[in-house]
Amino acid sequence: MDWKGRRQSTNIEDRRGGAKKAGGIGIGSIIIALIVWKVFGISPETTLGVTQQITQNTQSTPTNETASQAESRQFVATVLADTEDVWTPIFRQLGGTYQPPTLVMFTGRVQSACGSATSASGPFYCPADQKVYLDTQFFADMRRQMGITGEQAGSTQLTQTGQAGDFAQAYVIAHEVGHHVQTLLGISNQVRQAQAKTNQTNANQLSVRQELQADCFAGLWAHHNHKRTQFLQAGDIEEALDAAEKIGDDYLQHKAHGHTVPDSFTHGTSEQRKRWFYRGFESGDIQQCDTFGVRNI
Ligand SMILES: [Zn+2]
């Protein structure tokens, strides 16, 4: 996958470990704290506690990141910008406005409006704050799981500018942004309302349809982004489909328990995930991603 040299999104919140030190207390927050103290008689420490948190949350470029951390941030920011540049015209065509999500990069543990999460939960989207949460360590784990190690990377068929695993990572981001699109379109809300009125099995099936639609949206994004930037390289789609296979519910359950329980699937089988990604990719047509309208998914 070719990604260097394109626009990078500024809608990134860097909460990775080590990034905190770069912030500190800005002069702005000290002035605000002093004003608050003078006017309201609240001690600066109390006020600073609050403003400092705000400063940390909105800061986006840590100064003390390593070269590989910087590369990882630039990659994520480029893919996020690519999703903005693809979804903006699609929303315009639908008669709406695309409001891009914020992407939070984190390591270890993170606090979201949907609760706290650890690296173990994998990347996720929180509709309550409209943010995509991405643990960069997950990408490293995914590479390992996919069997792409540094050694093997050199012997794959990918062209020189592409790094093994890049597109699979972009696919994961595009899938999470797909959930944001579902939120903006009101689909997620409808799913939640329908789920509240039905039993667990049906609720899970609705989740599967929602997940497969996010996969289809990821494929749709790849289609349009390639038209704009020619970013795909030999083997990229296979790489994404392989990633889709490896993170399918049946594969993960099988690996974890040695057997599968179809009723508890919430992401769809590997075959379904591949098929819906490809459907979006091949057609580039959002109408083709109506996973709720088809009888058999
Ligand atoms: Zn998902």
Q: 268 C-alpha to center of ligand 1: Å?
A: 10
Q: 95 C-alpha to center of ligand 1: Å?
A: 26
Q: 115 C-alpha to center of ligand 1: Å?
A: 17
Question: H helices of 9-148, where?
Answer: 27-40, 44-58, 67-93, 136-145
d(CA 274, CA 248): 9
pTM for this prediction: 0.78
| Each residue's pLDDT tens digit, 150-177 | 434 443 433 334 566 889 899 989 999 9
Per-residue b/e over 107-145, b at no fewer than 16 CB within 10 Å?
beebebeeeebebeebbbbbbeebbbbbbbebbeebbee
Question: H helices of 123-268, where?
Answer: 136-145, 150-153, 166-184, 187-196, 200-229, 236-246, 249-257
Q: 215 C-alpha to center of ligand 1: Å?
A: 8
Confirm if 85 and 44 have CB atoms less than 8 A apart: no
Q: 278 C-alpha to center of ligand 1: Å?
A: 16
pLDDT for res 258: 59
Taking the chain, what is the end-to-end CA distance rounded to the nearest angstrom? Answer: 29
Closest listed residue to residue 105, CA positions, set 62, 146, 64, 143: 62
The mean predicted confidence, pLDDT, of the chain is 80
Return the top range by mean pLDDT from 58-67, 84-93, 143-152, 256-265: 84-93
| Each residue's pLDDT tens digit, 188-211 | 999 999 999 999 999 989 999 999
